[in-house]
Amino acid sequence: MRQLALAGGVPAAVLRIEPQSQTTLENATETAKVMAFSGQKAIVLVTDSYHALRARLLFRMAGFTVVAVHTAQVPMRPRLVMVAAEGLKLPVSLVRALLCRFRRPAM
């Protein structure tokens, strides 16, 4: 995704890469931790086109304002499989995000 962002004209100096996560939900929450020190809440997401909706929702739930989504194009056949998988992953991710939100201690 870093290479995609760079190819799309995003300056390397503004990219923040979060390498620890294994899921989109983890990526959103870990990115929030990485960026907490800066207070910056507006982001541009770089993801695959089939994944953009779920990623946008989870990053919003993590407290970000998603100002744009830069997407990669995926050939039709793999995209159909991925869209079907996203149909299953979306509700699961949203439930997990809500459960994480309720488990956080009040500040």
Task: Tell me, rounded to whole angstroms, the distance of Cα 55 from its chain centroid.
Answer: 4
Instruction: Tell me which DSSP letter residue 20 carries.
Output: S
pLDDT at 107 > cutoff 50: no
- Per-residue pLDDT averaged across 80-102, rounded? 82
Give the separation between CA 59 and CA 41, rounded to whole angstroms: 10
pLDDT at 32 > cutoff 80: yes
Contact 10, 43 (CB under 8 A): no
Give the separation between CA 32 and CA 37, rounded to whole angstroms: 9
The verdict on pTM exceeding 0.75 is: no
Structure token pair of residue 104? 């956080």
pLDDT at 28 > cutoff 80: yes
Task: Tell me, rounded to whole angstroms, the distance of Cα 3 from its chain centroid.
Answer: 16
- Helices marked H in 23-75 — which ranges? 24-35, 52-61
Q: Say which residue, 106 or 14, is predicted with more confidence.
A: 14
The domain spans of the chain are: 2-103
Give the separation between CA 11 and CA 21, rounded to whole angstroms: 23
Give residue 57's pLDDT: 92
Least confident of 58-62, 68-72, 76-80, 102-106: 102-106
